[in-house]
Amino acid sequence: MPELPEVETVVRDLRPLLVGKQIAHIRASRAALRRPWRRDWAGQLIGRCFKEVRRRGKWIIVDFDRGGHLLVHLGMTGQFTIQHATAPIQNHTHIVWTLGGGREHLRFRDIRRFGSVEFFPQTAALDALLDEKLGPEPWQLPRGWRRRFAHSQRCLKAILLDQRVVAGVGNIYADEALFAARLLPTQLGSQTSTAQAQRLRQAVICVLERAIGARGSTIRNYVGGSGLRGGFQEEFAVYGRLGQPCRRCRSAIACIRLAGRSTHYCPKCQRPAALGEVS
DNA sequence: CCGACGTCCTGCTAGC
DNA sequence: TGCTAGCAGGACGTCG
C-alpha cells in the first residue's frame, strides 16, 4: 500500500519521537512476515538507542547509535507507529518495542503480512541489499534517465513500477505521474522520446512532492507514524476515478489491467507518442 | 536475457 | 439476507 510519500510521512513522524530513546523490551507475537523476524534479534536490540530514522525507496531504515539497523517494509497494509503503552493493541500487531521508561510503544502492525522487519548488525550488508534492489531516488534521476528504459519493450506503467528504474513509485503515483506527464501508461519505453522522458521525470517528482505535502494517501489502512491518515486521495486526478470526469477535459476516466495492476488514465488527455517523434 | 503472470495474506464489497 | 468471487497501495519466483 504505502508508496514513497506514505513512507516519507511515517519517517518524518517517527524521527522526533524515536531519536534518543532506548529499547527496553521487545515482544514479537508473530514472526512469519514476508521476511521472517528472528527471535534472537530481540536480545541483540534491547538496550540500544535510536540514532536516526530515514527512508530509501519504500524502505524505512532505523539506525542505532552504536551501530546496527532495522530495515522495515510496509508491504500493502503495514503500519509502523508510536503509541502510548496503555493504548489497546490492535489485531495483526506483530512486533512491539517498549521504549525506555515503559510509557511508549513502537508497534509494527500488518494485516496481510506482505511487509517485514529485519535487523542488520552490519551496515555493509544493509547497503548491499538496498543497492541491489533499488535504483535512484526520483530527485536524483539525471535528465538523461531515458537511458534506463530506452531499449525496453515494457510499457511505461511497468517501467515506473520497477524499483530499480526509480525507487519509491507504486501503483497510485505511477498513474498520477503518467497523467501529469500526459503520457499513456501503455506506451512502450522504446517508443518514448527524450522530451517525453524528461516530462515524465518532472511529473514523478511533482506528484510525489504534492503527495508528501498532503501526508500521503489513505485508501484503506494507511496511517502515518502517529496514527494520522493521509489526505492526498482527495487530489487524485485518475487513480480510483473510473468513469468520473477528467479534472482537465471532463471526459470519463478509463481503467485497464496493466503489469497485473489496475491502471487509470484519461484517454483524451494522455496521448500516444506522435509518429516519428522517437529517434 | 527479458517480460508476463501467479503467489504470498487477510479483509472488504459488489453481485448473484 | 447471505454467500462468494474478485480485488486491494508490493515484491519476487517461475515460466515461456
Q: What is the pLDDT of residues A84-110, one digit of tens each?
A: 999 999 999 999 999 988 999 999 999
What pLDDT was estimated at residue A43?
Answer: 97
* pLDDT, tens only, A231-252: 999 999 999 999 999 999 999 9
Q: Which nucleotide minimizes the distance between its C1' and the CA of A188?
A: B3
Q: Which residues of A are catalytic?
A: 2-3, 58, 261
Read off the pLDDT of residues A178-190 as tens digits, 9 standing for 90 and up.
999 999 999 999 9
Encoded amino acid at A272, one letter? P
Using the predicted structure, report yes or no on whether residue A279 has a pLDDT greater than 70: no
Burial class (CB in 10 A: 0-12, 13-18, 19+), A143: exposed
Average pLDDT of chain A, as a whole number: 96
Would the CA dihedral through A38, A41, A42, A45 be positive or negative? negative
Amino acid present at A191: Q
Distance of alpha carbon A68 from alpha carbon A164, whole angstroms: 25
- Tell me what the mean pLDDT of segment A66-82 comes to: 97
Strand C and A128 CB separated by under 7 Å: no
Say yes or no to pLDDT of A23 above 70: yes
pTM: 0.97
Indicate yes or no: strand B within 7 A of the C-beta of A238: no
What is the pLDDT at residue A272? 81
- CA–CA distance, A167 with A56 (Å, rounded to integer): 8
Average pLDDT in the A121-138 region?
97
Q: Which residues is A257 bridged to in the sheet?
A: A262
Report if CB A75 to strand C is under 7 Å: yes
Cell of A79: 503500519
pLDDT digits (tens, 9 = 90+) for A202-236: 999 999 999 999 999 999 889 899 999 999 999 99
Going edge to edge, which strands form the sheet with A104-110? A23-28, A93-99, A104-110, A78-84
pLDDT confidence of residue A152: 97
Residue whose CA is minimally distant from C10 C1'? A75
